[in-house]
Chain A
Amino acid sequence: MTAVAEAKIKRRVLPSPVTGQEIVLVGVIVVLWAALAVSTPAFLTAGSIQPLLVATAPVALVGVAMTIVIITGGIDVSVGGAIMVCSVLTAKALVGTDGVSLGVAVLLSIAAGGLLGLVNGVLIAYGRVHAIIITFGTANLFMFLGLRIFGSGTVNGIPATLAFFGRGPDGRTLGIPHAFLITLVITAVAWWYLRHTAGGRHFFAIGGDAQAARLAGVRVQRRVLLAYVLTGVLVGLASCFVIAQGTSTLDQSVGSGKELAVIAAVVIGGTSIMGGRGSVLGTLLGALLVQSVASGVTQLGWRSQLSDLFVGIFIIVAVGADLLRARARRSR
């Protein structure tokens, strides 16, 4: 083989790193931000963008793991309940005179989340039951657990131990919120892992055809288990963000409805609910888009719940475009 040919191969070892969906999403976000900047001059200021990024972080972070779960052909509707468990547990550990430090709180939250993810993973990978049913069940169990830890009422007087992840000045470096930065780094690592390692590629193979993947030597059950444990771990970290973003009070509605928000971000990001195809980068953009709309709707002085209508429309448009593309590809 000639040196020229070799160089050519090196240049094109992989398909394009970004998908069409991601480019479109970037375009939509840019147009949206521009429109908002024109209509409300306050939008393109640090005081407006920073909270937007902070609010995006938890959904996008859990979305990274949810993307992997959905790529394997599964789904996890228990993340809302899991967020509740992790946040209340961590919040309680923070409260009081002997409240734990930042590092311990994060580790505790991640450990708790990982354990919950392990429960899901074992039941799904080894129980041979459809993921949606199992996680509907564990969603109830996790909520029970969370409410039991709450006891009655709210957790009050949470100290600012987690301010590092929060909205305040302590939560930023060079103006960029830490929570978003961490999410960005984890997304990048996940993107690299999914794209460049054998283990990462195996997630796609499992979602494409689990049986064929098993025959090809992929350890399907272990991979599936890993996907759900990872979800739990990231839920744990995201819970710390949630606590940090709130006031000193945590109420029982924490985590409620988050599973659908995360799935919405994943789906808008171009990940196929049928498995086998998806991108964590798209999920991050999807989460950012949803949050931008929410922020825009409030800044325009509209009723905040109107943003959900846009979420619904985005889902239909994003997936509808994908359906049309797939149909075009089939008929070709």
Chain B
Amino acid sequence: MTAPTMKKTERTDYLRILLTQRIALLALLIVVVVVTFFINDAGGYLTAPYDFDYMSASLISAVPLAMLGLAEMLVILSGRGGIDLSVGAMVSLAGMVFGFAYGEWGWPLWLAILATAGFGAFLGAINGFLVSWIGFPALIATLATFYAYKSLAIVVNDQQPISTKPIQELFSLSKSVELPLFGEYVPNVPLGIFTFLLPTVVAVWLLLARTAYGRRLYAIGTNDVAARWAGLPVRDTRFKAYVYAGLISGLVAVVTVGQFASARPDAGVSGNGMALPAITIAVLGGVAITGGIGRVAGVVLATLLIVWLNAGILLAFVGNEGSQYQLLALGAVLVFAALLNGLTNRRYGGTTS
């Protein structure tokens, strides 16, 4: 970020920027990861070529990850221990709603997507109501709704996935497309990037960086007492953060249904679920768990880092070892980032992501 503009060439300055500017650190780590795998690829240590085509195709897994990372960022920014453990369960439940609307009732696609997003927002509103208006600790409220939404998603269609013909045809959403104009010179990119991820990234960025709401959100996350004395609607602002997180989860539900070509009742909660990786991405992207600090660029870069690291790991190991080492990478990177935060807080008095 600010690195190129610095004229001073003292080493300590660059070190300081790397330690305190999360975006600079993430950019460097991405370069290190990509170069490492390129070298490994050239040396023939990988099971398949790690090239731009592969990197581009792997972006499909960035779509839900980055979107939910942004959702977590919104609620964590709102402060007072903001967090949302229920995003995965919301994806499951909203996904079932989408399955019904589009797959069973034959609604037009746009209407079904709209309804799903709206339903996600409604689920988020329940979280927001509990946290902001009633005063539940966010961890508790979203733990409770995690269980409730997860249960409803499974019960609503008697544990059966919905994979009727229209749903199966949605798989085209996740295929890669050639970009217009200069598309033949660059790799094909998964369609979901353009239809869901980019619009969400742009919308959240506009929301946070350009709108009055974004300012209020940062303000209440930084110091909600001062926000009250400044005449800001603290509760309403915090409430909306959870609504937006629900809305994004609704959109992710559509993406996930497309990817699986089926509305699965456990889509967002199977295995480790989606909440844990999403929170990890947000924290890795420089979002302070105490609220008020965090940027869209950080979350996007953190997603790219993890996605390309995971993609490389898959090629470096045979069989399911790859997916295991992905866990190692995610955990190690998160612990490293957290300890780094602790260190920079002591040495430089806080990070400015």
Decide: B148 and A140 in contact? CB cutoff 8 A: no
A186 at the interface (CB under 8 A from B): no
Decide: A141 and B140 in contact? CB cutoff 8 A: no
Decide: B272 and A143 in contact? CB cutoff 8 A: yes
Decide: B331 and A144 in contact? CB cutoff 8 A: yes
A123-B330 in contact given A136-B280, A319-B140, A320-B134 (Cβ < 8 Å): no
A267-B158 in contact given A140-B330, A144-B325, A309-B152 (Cβ < 8 Å): no
Q: Which residues A112-148 have CB closer than 8 A to chain B?
A: 123, 127-130, 132-134, 136-144, 147-148
Query: Which residue of chain A has the shortest Cβ distance to B149 in the bound complex?
Result: A312
Decide: A315 and B331 in contact? CB cutoff 8 A: no
Q: Which residues of A contact B29 (CB under 8 A)?
A: none
Q: Which among A132, A320, A323 is the interface contact of B289 at CB below 8 angstroms? A: A132
B150 at the interface (CB under 8 A from A): yes
Query: Which residue of chain B has the shortest Cβ distance to A145 in the bound complex?
Result: B328
Query: Which residue of chain A has the shortest Cβ distance to B147 in the bound complex?
Result: A312
Decide: A152 and B145 in contact? CB cutoff 8 A: no
Quick one: CB contact mask for B302-343 with A, threshold 8 Å, 1 for yes?
000000000000000001100011011011101100110110
A303 at the interface (CB under 8 A from B): yes
Distance from A136 Cβ to chain B, minimum over Cβ atoms (Å)? 6
Query: Which residue of chain B has the shortest Cβ distance to A319 in the bound complex?
Result: B140
Q: Which residues A238-267 have CB closer than 8 A to chain B?
A: 256-257, 260, 263-264, 267
Q: Once the chains are docked, how many angstroms separate the CA of A75 from the CA of B81?
A: 13
B141 at the interface (CB under 8 A from A): yes
Q: Once the chains are docked, how many angstroms separate the CA of A152 from the CA of B323?
A: 12
Distance from A268 Cβ to chain B, minimum over Cβ atoms (Å)? 10
A311 at the interface (CB under 8 A from B): yes
Decide: A305 and B154 in contact? CB cutoff 8 A: yes
Q: Once the chains are docked, how many angstroms separate the CA of A148 from the CA of B320?
A: 10
Decide: A312 and B146 in contact? CB cutoff 8 A: yes
Quick one: CB contact mask for B132-155 with A, threshold 8 Å, 1 for yes?
001111011101111111111011
A42 at the interface (CB under 8 A from B): no
Q: Which among B151, B273, B334 is the interface contact of A140 at CB below 8 angstroms? A: B334
Q: Which residues of B contact A139 (CB under 8 A)?
A: 272, 276, 331
Distance from A318 Cβ to chain B, minimum over Cβ atoms (Å)? 9
Query: Which residue of chain B has the shortest Cβ distance to A142 in the bound complex?
Result: B331
Q: Which residues of A contact B273 (CB under 8 A)?
A: 257
5 smallest beta-carbon distances between A and B, as pairs: A140-B331, A312-B148, A308-B151, A137-B334, A315-B144
Residues of B within 8 A of A (CB): 83, 85, 130, 134-137, 139-141, 143-152, 154-155, 158-159, 271-273, 276, 279-280, 283, 289-290, 319-320, 324-325, 327-328, 330-332, 334-335, 338-339, 341-342, 345-346
8 inter-chain pairs at a CB distance below 8 angstroms, sorted by A residue, are: A134-B335, A140-B327, A140-B328, A148-B324, A267-B143, A303-B155, A308-B150, A316-B141
